[in-house]
Structure formats: C-alpha cells, structure tokens
C-alpha cells in the first residue's frame, strides 16, 4: 500500500469537490439543499482557493476564477445526473435497482433523488417520479465515512428521508465504531459502507452482500473521480467482478484523460506536487480506451465523451441559457482545453439471451 500521506491527499480531494459544489450552489448553478451541511466554515474563500474540482490546473491558469469552477460543477453534475436518471427510469420505475457509489465522498445524490428534488431548478421533469431503489450503497475510506455519517445523523433533513423517525431509530445502525463514532450507516434503502476499494473482493464485496446487494437486480456503479486514483489492476478487477457476478451491471464514470499532451503533463505534475497520483490515466488515456475497458469484457454498450462535448451537445438548451446568464464564462479557450481532458463514460451489459430450452436440461 502507498504511504498513508498519499491516502490523505486523495481523501482531501473530496474537500475540493465539496467546496466547489457548494460555491456552484451558492451562485445558483446547482440546486442542492444538502451539500452545505458538509462544509464546516462556509467562509468566502479567495477565488484561487475556491477553485474546487479542477484545483491544480488553475495553478497554471491562475486567472480563472469561481465562475469557471461553478460552470464546471454544473456541467459535470448535469451530465452525470442525466445518466443516473436514465438508469433509474429504465424499465419503468417499478423495476427495482441498485446503485454502488465508489469513493462517494460527501456526495449528496442519494438525498437529492430521494427527496425528488429537482437537480436543477425548473427541471423537476428529469427527476424520477418514484425512487426505484432497492439499495443505494456508498463506499469510502472509514476516515471519510465517519465524518459523513456524523453529519447525516445530526440533521433531520437527512434522517427524515430514511422513513419515519421510529424506523430510523430501529434501522439505522452503526458498526466499527472506534472512539464511539460510527463509521457506517444502514437505512432501509441506503448503506454507507467504510472500506478500501483496494480490498474489493476480499473485504468490500462480502460486506455488500451481507448488507443486501442483490446480484439479480440492475446495478449502477458510479465512479466520480475515483477509479483514476486506483492502480489499474484494481479498477480492472472491480469491472471484471461486476461483469462476472452481476446480472445487469451498468457504470457511469467521470475522470481525467489525455495525459500525453502539454496540458495533460501540467495536470499530472500539479497533482504530483500535492502527492496525488492519477494511477489509472496511462491505462485508459483516451475516449476509445475508456470505452474498451467495458467493450473488451463483452459489455453491450459503452460511450465516452469529453466534457467539452457534453457541454456542447448533452445539456438542455434552456438550462444552458439559464447558466450562461449567471456569470460570464469568458475564458472559453482555457475552458475547452481543460474540458477535453475530462471525460464521462457510461456503459451497461445486458445479460446474454438465455439460450434454447435444451440448455436448461
Ligand atoms: N465521488 C465524490 C465526488 O465526486 O464528489 C468524491 C470524489 S473525491 C475526488 C475521491 C474520493 O475517492 C475520495 O472521497 C476518496 O476518499 C475516495 N477514494 C479514493 N481511493 C479510495 C479507496 N482506495 N477506497 C475508498 N475510497 C477511495
């Protein structure tokens, strides 16, 4: 295992993500009534600190400020939410499904979907009409889930979404509680699990089954800036496991690509200066190789697009008009360059058609 300090640096990327999301919410780009609970001091940070989800790059592009990052948060979230909503709606909302969020950090998506909150103002139509979730699993390091779980427990805004007060008390349990604080949470359709993804098969998978993962239900994995930090041997093993064990696996991921050009080199160098290594980027450096990590395993469908393309083609016109009125995005060239270095990939595997009746004998 890498030295602990490297893990700390990777965990700290979640703070960047959270602060950046909150600034996008405060500027009106995103609707998320939950994320502020995770930011202890919502002090107004200087623009350069408040650069959030694309932090290290801005060291070299120091003139880019908050609106840039808020715009980015918006595009990334809108695209991912669109794909997740599609998964939830597929086959009708009465068809139960599962979500496994790898390296969930302080993500609030479960609560947004559960509360049927319009992800984006005036976009209630994109939210599923019901919440067809058997279980929504979130996994991260115990250091992180301990914090998340204490915030979740402390606020009615979260606990009321698990059902009635009484049900909460009975069903929300905690385990692994060094020093009295729980690092995990179990509600009827929500599980916050403490684990290290590097121990996927040996430790994480047995806990998932123990806590209710159903191999026969459609299961969506979400990796939002997570697999990229893992050795490709590990991320490969996770995808292979999903392929071999789940009846209907699907995947949505967001991460960096194109390490080879000068911009990519700056991106990698700046992260290295923070002791963060993009371990996965050489194994899946392009949109094509991102697709191949699924298609080569026999998945039915895989698509990969960069954020630049998402921005131009995937987002609702009305929404684009709305956010372009919020702030001027005048660094368009830098935006595009950066946006070509991040991608969104989605893939699914439909089970092979069960063969002729002879096979069943
Ligand atoms: N997915 C969240 C989001 O997009 O807001 C958080 C993203 S943050 C950039 C990366 C997250 O992955 C961190 O919360 C980190 O702790 C988690 N992570 C990285 N490596 C991990 C591992 N080996 N096991 C569990 N979690 C891990």
Identify any residues that bridge with 250 across adjacent strands, giving them in sequence order. 220, 348
In the sheet with 218-224, reading across from the earlier edge strand, the strands are: 185-186, 190-194, 133-140, 97-102, 218-224, 248-256, 342-348, 301-306
pLDDT at 121: 40
| pLDDT of residue 72 exceeding 90 | no
| pLDDT of residue 174 exceeding 60 | no
What phi, psi does 350 have (nearest 5°)?
-90, 135
* Atom number in ligand 1 closest to CA 14: 8
Expressed in angstroms and rounded, the spacing between residue 224 Cα and the centre of ligand 1 is: 8
pLDDT at 80: 94
Beta strand spans in 33-132 (E): 97-102
| pLDDT of residue 334 exceeding 80 | no
Alpha-carbon gap, residue 331 to 224, rounded angstroms: 25
Average pLDDT of the segment spanning 44-73: 49
Average pLDDT of the segment spanning 166-192: 61
Task: Decide: 258 in ligand 1 pocket, CB within 6 A.
Answer: no
Domains and CATH numbers, the chain: 4-141+195-351 (3.40.50.150)
| Higher-pLDDT residue of 353, 237 | 237
253 assigned to a ligand binding site? no
* Atom number in ligand 1 closest to CA 16: 9
Task: Decide: 218 in ligand 1 pocket, CB within 6 A.
Answer: no
Alpha-carbon gap, residue 30 to 26, rounded angstroms: 8
To the nearest 10°, the Cα dihedral for 313, 316, 318, 322? -80
Total-model pTM: 0.88
Task: Decide: 198 in ligand 1 pocket, CB within 6 A.
Answer: yes
pLDDT at 149: 92
pLDDT at 71: 81
Expressed in angstroms and rounded, the spacing between residue 58 Cα and the centre of ligand 1 is: 21
Average pLDDT of the segment spanning 12-36: 87
Task: Decide: 342 in ligand 1 pocket, CB within 6 A.
Answer: no
pLDDT tens digits for range 79-120: 999 999 899 888 877 789 999 999 999 999 999 988 875 553
Most confident of 110-114, 126-130, 214-218, 262-266: 214-218
pLDDT at 93: 74
* Atom number in ligand 1 closest to CA 254: 4
pLDDT at 50: 33
pLDDT at 328: 67
Going by pLDDT thresholds of 50, 70 and 90, the confidence category of residue 319 is confident
| pLDDT of residue 158 exceeding 60 | yes
196 assigned to a ligand binding site? yes
Task: Decide: 11 in ligand 1 pocket, CB within 6 A.
Answer: yes
| pLDDT of residue 179 exceeding 80 | no
| pLDDT of residue 347 exceeding 90 | yes
pLDDT at 15: 86
pLDDT at 118: 52
pLDDT tens digits for range 257-273: 999 998 899 889 888 88
Average pLDDT of the segment spanning 158-170: 59
pLDDT at 68: 67
197 assigned to a ligand binding site? yes
| pLDDT of residue 182 exceeding 70 | yes
76 assigned to a ligand binding site? yes
| pLDDT of residue 171 exceeding 50 | no
SS3 99: strand
pLDDT at 180: 36
244 assigned to a ligand binding site? no
């Amino acid at each position: 295992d890498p030295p602990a300090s490297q893990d700390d640096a990777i965990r700290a990327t979640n703070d960047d993500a959270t602060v950046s999301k909150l600034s996008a919410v405060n500027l009106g780009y995103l609707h998320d009534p939950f994320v502020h609970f995770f930011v202890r001091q919502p002090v107004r940070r200087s623009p350069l600190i408040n650069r959030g989800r694309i932090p290290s790059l801005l060291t070299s592009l120091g003139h880019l400020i908050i609106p840039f990052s808020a715009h980015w948060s918006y595009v990334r979230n809108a695209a991912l939410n669109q794909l997740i909503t599609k998964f939830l709606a597929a086959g009708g909302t009465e068809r139960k499904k599962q979500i496994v969020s790898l390296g969930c950090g302080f993500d609030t998506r479960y609560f947004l979907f559960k509360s049927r909150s319009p992800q984006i103002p005036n976009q209630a139509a994109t939210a599923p009409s019901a919440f067809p979730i058997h279980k929504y699993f979130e996994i991260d390091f115990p250091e992180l889930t301990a914090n998340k779980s204490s915030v979740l427990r402390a606020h009615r805004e979260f606990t009321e979404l698990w059902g009635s007060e009484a049900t909460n008390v009975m069903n929300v349990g905690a385990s692994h509680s060094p020093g009295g604080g729980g690092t995990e949470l179990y509600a009827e359709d929500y599980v916050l699990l403490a684990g290290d993804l590097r121990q996927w098969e040996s430790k994480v998978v047995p806990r998932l089954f123990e806590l209710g993962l159903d191999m026969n239900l459609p299961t969506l994995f979400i990796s939002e800036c997570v697999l990229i930090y893992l050795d490709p041997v590990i991320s490969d093993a996770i995808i292979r496991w999903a392929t071999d064990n789940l009846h209907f696996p699907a995947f949505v991921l967001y991460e960096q690509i194109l390490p080879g050009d000068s911009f990519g080199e700056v991106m990698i160098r700046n992260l290295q200066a923070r002791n963060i290594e993009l371990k996965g980027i050489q194994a899946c450096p392009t949109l094509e190789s991102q697709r191949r990590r699924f298609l080569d395993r026999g998945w039915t469908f895989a698509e990969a697009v960069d954020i630049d393309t998402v921005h131009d083609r995937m987002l609702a016109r009305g929404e684009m008009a709305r956010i372009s009125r919020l702030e001027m995005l005048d660094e368009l060239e830098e935006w595009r360059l950066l946006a070509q270095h991040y991608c969104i990939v989605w893939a699914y595997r439909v089970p092979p058609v069960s063969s002729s009746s002879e096979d069943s004998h």
